[in-house]
Amino acid sequence: MTPSGRAWLLLGLIGYAILPWHLADLAPLANRYPAGEAGSGLGRALFGGAWWLLPIAAGLAVATVPVVARLDRDKAAAWLVAGGGFGLALLVVQGFVIGHNGWTTAWLAAWFGAPGPRQGGLGFGAALTALALLMLLCQGLADRGWCRGDAFVVSAIGLVVALIGLFVFFPVLRILVSAFQDNAGQFSFSEFAAKVLDRSIWGLDCLTSSLRCGVAWNTLFLAVLVGVGTTALGLAFALIATRTGFRYKGALRVLTVLPIITPPFVIGLALILLFGRSGALSALLYEWFDIPRSRWIYGLPGVLIAQLLAFTPIAFLVLIGVVQGISPSLEEASQTLRASRWTTFRTVSLPLMRPGLANAFLLGFVESMADFGNPLVLGGNFEVLSTKIFFAVVGAAHDQGRAAVLSLVLLGFTLAAFWVQYAWLGKRVYTTVTGKGDSGLLLPLPRRVAWLCYATAIPWAVFTFVVYAVILVGGFVRSMGRDYTPTLEHFLTGFRIEAGRHGLFLSGSAWDSFIATLKVAAMAAPLTAVIGLLTAYLMSRQSFAGRRAFEFGTMLSFAIPGTVVGVSYILAFNVPPVEITGTAFILVMCFVFRNMPVAVRSGIATLSQIDKSLDEASLTLGARSFATVRRVILPLLRPAVVASLVYSFVRAMTAVSAVIFLVSAEYNMATTYIVGRVEAGEFGLAIAYSCVLIVVMLIAILMIQLLVGERRLGRRTAPAPVGNVAVQAAG
């Protein structure tokens, strides 16, 4: 057995024989160890009557055989597979069939008698034992030749599959099963068919009458518009940032990223304060040009503008790494063959951006479908699937089955978009970063492309600035739209610091939620980046059975609205075997697997440009896969690392729909606090809190970029342009 295998076996024994097996209050540990609730698995099995935990020891014992006996590689691998697989299967089965009240299924109660044995949720000891058994199983499979005998790759696949299965498929399956159940909990396919074919979902009355179309078509039409719009805007910003000498690139990049660090409903609120019937711009247009006030912002136009503001940064973060990765030598070769800059851009540069464009569109499409905050604030009579699901879950006519059916429709659209993206990319090769030196100069944009980018990006940046000016002003006046008297009252209410007998203390009402949010976001961001980029590496660099299904599984929680994800987490993790409701851990896991698809798609887009010969050269020189990833691939993935860290951190700080069901008194998130203030009519305090979040997240983004650094490809840079920067960059 390898040293890593021995280490995992030791950790498994520690988890089973020493650490507490169940989640329990550890304060009176001495009174209940080792047989009580806080006892170890072995102690509970031998002295606490938990006989069902004893067979797990057999799995660890079988895995120990290669340590005490001299076996060849194949036989030792067989013992590891048997021990790890058997022990892990027993641990999972006993966790699911025995709960707080005994047997969890009626047929077990009928066979063995009710109520049966009882146990709480699995704890630290069970988690460590399960992880060790999984790694021993993967070690054995690698020794048997899986993935060319690479233990790191097999272990990574096993770990990611297990995590996605537990925190994505399991909770989603719990709620989607209800799509096939009637109100009594019995399976009914006829009721499912009636719900899924309902006219309110698929109706096309808007084509032949004044009635509205079904909510599915509204959602699909909006998602396509948002996918195209965010991709176009993100590409324009990325080209300006990388291929022009525009003087204000830094300010442009800040304005590009600003919307992603703002709670979605705050953008919607700012648009209402600008364009609503009593909005500032509506009032100016009425007074100056006699344009009547209207409610045009409520409906498709308002939701589209808000989603473009919110999701363009995602496309920008994905595309900037792809644009930077295009090899200048390819463009120089095109010019050597006397192609014009426009022809080179159209036939060389743009086709090499296809992976980034496809992934940016897919993310914008899926984000639009799953968005909840913007349609809730600005939707008006324009219904989309996410809001319909929300009101089906929390509305007066509580219908969990209808919410599950609508979620299945969303999944169908996402699967179709995933297939279209795969078909468009095909099997073409987009490699541009190789092991060869490349000191070419990046080709300036053709004049028409440069001016098109400026005409697209700069007005949008100005509009973004105006929206954020409204948000900023709203925090420093008494009442936006009514009383513009300057005041710091809103900031002091939320973030007051007072001096007491024992020093300074935080007396503002927002401090608890702010500190809890920072803790959760700081834990979730690095986990999201690590798991997401590791998943991207496995999908881009490894071939294994079920890879396409595995890739779609990573998009599953991203495609379903956050309200459904939140409810599914409550259903799945409020009872054994994984009982984590009300803890910080459930918030962290929700954020990790909700935001992981952005890290995955960004990593895939960047890895598609990196030649596999770099990996092969490292392996040929004797480096293991882990060393190759750390020393060769990871430095070239820095744009994707920044994108995943930034996105996961800020989304953990600003998410609403998924966590609104998961917060507790101890872990109340910033966004739920803001929603509460909005519902109470305290708009000034809500906007002031949002301003604080924006400043904090801007600082965090700068720190992430400084810590990660930029990817350096050994290329020359063009001399600074002289004179009219915009014209020369375009020329």
Q: Residue 721: pLDDT above 50?
A: no
Per-residue pLDDT at 724 exceeds 70: no
Give yes or no for a cis peptide into 115 (omega within 30° of 0).
yes
Measured between alpha carbons, how far is 608 from 432 in angstroms, rounded to an integer? 9
Structure token pair of residue 326: 């295009």
The arithmetic mean of pLDDT across residues 140-155, rounded, is 91
What is the tens place of the pLDDT at every residue in 196-208? 888 889 988 877 7
- Per-residue pLDDT tens digits for 529-585: 999 999 999 988 887 777 777 877 777 777 677 777 888 898 889 888 999 988 899
Please provide residue 122's backbone torsions phi and psi, each rounded to the nearest 5 degrees: -70, 145
Q: Residue 24: helix, strand or coil by DSSP?
A: coil
Residues 6+ apart with CB under 8 A from 185: none
Among 178-187, 412-421, 494-503, 717-726, whose mean pLDDT is lowest? 717-726
Q: Are 281 and 717 in contact (CB under 8 A)?
A: no
- Reported as a pLDDT band with limits 50, 70 and 90, residue 170 is very high
* CB contact at 8 A, 198 and 173: no
Quote the pLDDT of residue 234.
Answer: 93
Placement of tokens 């980046």 in the chain = 529
The partner residues of 610 in beta bridges, in order of sequence, read 433
The CA distance from 346 to 357, in Å, is 14
* SS3 state at 298: coil
Q: If residue 589 lies in a helix (H) or strand (E), which one and from where to where?
A: helix 584-607
* CA–CA gap between residue 671 and residue 655 (Å, rounded): 7
How confident is the model at residue 728, as a pLDDT? 40
Q: Is the pLDDT of residue 731 over 70?
A: no
Task: Evaluate if residue 303 carries a pLDDT over 90.
Answer: yes
Q: 512: burial class by Cβ within 10 Å (0-12, 13-18, 19+)? A: middle
Mean pLDDT of 32-54: 85
CB atoms near residue 613 (< 10 Å)? 13
Q: Tally the C-alpha atoms within 13 A of residue 218's C-alpha that lie toward its C-beta.
A: 26
Work out the mean pLDDT of the chain and round it to a whole number: 84
- pLDDT classification of 730: cutoffs 50, 70, 90: very low
Tell me whether residue 330 is exposed, middle or buried, using C-beta atoms within 10 angstroms of its C-beta: 0 to 12, 13 to 18, 19 or more: middle
pLDDT top residue among 272 and 482: 272
SS3 281: helix
| CATH code for the structural domain at 489-708 | 1.10.3720.10
> 388 to each of 372, 407, 595, 675, how far by Cα in Å?
10, 10, 22, 19
Answer yes or no: is pLDDT of 727 > 80. Answer: no
Q: Which of 299-313, 471-485, 682-696 has the weakest average pLDDT?
A: 471-485
Helix/strand/coil (H/E/C) assignment for every residue in 191-252: HHHHHHCCHHHHCCHHHCCCCCCCHHHHHHHHHHHHHHHHHHHHHHHHHHHHHCCCCCHHHH
Q: Residue 479's beta-bridge partner residues?
A: 483
Q: Render pLDDT for 215-245 as a digit per residue (tens, 0 to 9).
A: 999 999 999 999 999 999 999 999 998 888 8
Which range (246-250, 366-370, 642-646) has the least confidence?
Answer: 246-250
